[in-house]
Structure formats: C-alpha cells, structure tokens
Amino acid sequence: MAVNGMYFLDCGVLTCDKTFITYKQGFGELVDIPVVPVLIDTDDGYVLFDTGVDPAGLILPDEVWGVKQSFIKQFTEENDIRVQLKKVGVSPQDIKYVVNSHFHWDHTGGNRFFDHSTIFVQKSEFRFGYYPDSAFEGSYIKRYFDHPLNYKLIEGDYEVVKGVYITTSTGHTPGHQSLVVHLQNECAVLAGDAVYGKECIEKNIPPGNSWDLSRGIESLNKLQHIAKRNNGHLYVTHDPNFWKEYKPAPFCYKQNARLIEHTEK
Ligand SMILES: [Zn+2]
C-alpha cells in the first residue's frame, strides 16, 4: 500500500496576462504557463490529477477551443493527455481514479477519455461548473465535462488511496481542491490552481482570476502549512519556470522531486 512514483505530463503551454497569475500585478505583461496534469502510480492503481486541454481542438479549433485559442501558445499531438500517458505505458482505461482540481477548461479537456475511471470533484465545483456566475462563466466549457462519466461528488477532504488524499483549496473557484501525495520520503502537495506561481507564495498573493480572494489567501496558507507540517513541498505546475525545475514523463519521481531524483520507467 504505497505510492510508487509520480509523473509530470506535458500538456502544452498557455499564454496570459501576468495579472492572471499575480493578482493586480503585471498588467500588460504576457507570461507563458505550462499545463501539467500529474499521474501517480500507487499499489491501489493509477491516479490522474486533471486532464489538460482538449486535443480535439487540433482538428476543429473554432468549435472546440473557440475564444480560448488566444490563450493557447503551444499544443501539438504530443501534448494530448493520451499520448502523454502512453509515454509511461498507460492508457486511459488503466486510470482508476481521476481527480479534477476544478472544472476550468484547461483542466477538464480530456475528461471524456476516462469513462472507466471514478472522477472526484467537489460538489460545489460540479454545481458551479454547470451554472457559473456570469463573471466566471468564460473559464468553464460545459461540453468538456458534461459526459456520462462516473463522477463522484465529494464535500471536503477525501482519501483517494493510501498515501494520496484530496484537500480543499477553495478561492480560485468555489470547489477547488488540491492533491497531497506521500512519496517515499516526501509529502508532495500538488496545488493545482490554488497557487499559480512561485511568486504567489513568496508574496502571499492569490491567483488574479479568483472567485473569492480571501478564501484564495486562506488556501494558499493552508497548502503551505500542510507541506511544512509534513516536511514537504508545494508543486506549482502553472509556474512559468516549472519545466526549468522538473522533467516531464517518462521520468518518474519516486521520492523528493525537488532533487530531480528520477528514473525512467
Ligand atoms: Zn489552470
């Protein structure tokens, strides 16, 4: 009963105004941010944290991506979640559990491929995804998640398998959740969009496009506290410099990922 390793999946690059990352700081400055779902290999099956950008947009960009095309800086067939999983010999049918950090379009684009999986989402996020407040509806593309999938709606923290548990981190969206992964000698806190950049940790600032700024700050503090208490570390996958620090799949992080101790599967 243990976590065997963790893989960072390269699912493209978005570009946005820096104020998306750091609330009210950096107007007019464009930054490139990676999209990085995370695969966790455990004795109890594979767990996938988020499903990335919808690859069908490569063929039908106007219909699938629509106005979001302006955010997509780089996305090729290589960045398809299925191709990324294949790099480690895994297919969507092998994924036992999917955890959606939230229902924004760059985290749910591949949801429909996981019709064999149990998909965990907070009930509050599920509700909001279908009926978002008008100021936030642009971030939700209903047809990405509106499929007859095995959604398991949860309210609060939840243990997915031994060593992998969901913890709520609301603020960016009403039902945002993060994933805590107990590697061999490290507690990896996968922040999702509760933390957009390392700069947000240093300056204690929430994501720019927060649904609730105060709760965003609380979640930022909560996640840092979980990491600190467990002698762990926060992983900020949208950080513009993420790929300077970490290696994409097929590299497998078996323990302290910060030390780039990796082995190929
Ligand atoms: Zn995102």
Q: Which domains does the chain have, with CATH numbers?
A: 3-264 (3.60.15.10)
What's the mean pLDDT in 134-159? Answer: 97
Q: How far is the CA of 50 from the centre of ligand 1 (A)?
A: 10
| Residue 195 confidence (pLDDT) above 50 | yes
Q: Among residues 193, 200, 191, 256, which one has the least CA distance to residue 226? A: 191
Q: How far is the CA of 186 from the centre of ligand 1 (A)?
A: 25
Tokens of 49: 């944290």
Residue 248 forms beta bridges with which residues? none
Q: How far is the CA of 261 from the centre of ligand 1 (A)?
A: 26
| Residue 81 confidence (pLDDT) above 90 | yes
pLDDT on residue 184: 87
Q: How far is the CA of 106 from the centre of ligand 1 (A)?
A: 5
**How much of the chain exceeds pLDDT 70, in percent?**
95
Q: How far is the CA of 1 from the centre of ligand 1 (A)?
A: 31
Which stretch of 45-59, 142-156, 202-216 has the lowest confidence by average pLDDT? 202-216
Kind of pairing between the strands at 95-99 and 118-122: parallel
Return mean pLDDT, the chain. Answer: 93
Q: How far is the CA of 53 from the centre of ligand 1 (A)?
A: 10
pLDDT band at 3 (very low <50, low <70, confident <90, very high): very high
Q: How far is the CA of 90 from the centre of ligand 1 (A)?
A: 24
Question: How far apart, in Å, are the Cα atoms of 117 and each of 97, 104, 149?
Answer: 5, 19, 8
| Residue 108 confidence (pLDDT) above 50 | yes
Dihedrals φ, ψ of 179, to 5°?
-125, 130
**How much of the chain exceeds pLDDT 90, in percent?**
83
pLDDT digits (tens, 9 = 90+) for 205-261: 888 888 999 999 999 999 999 999 999 999 999 999 999 999 999 999 986 554 444
Q: How far is the CA of 101 from the centre of ligand 1 (A)?
A: 9
pLDDT band at 74 (very low <50, low <70, confident <90, very high): very high
Q: How far is the CA of 164 from the centre of ligand 1 (A)?
A: 21
Q: How far is the CA of 108 from the centre of ligand 1 (A)?
A: 10
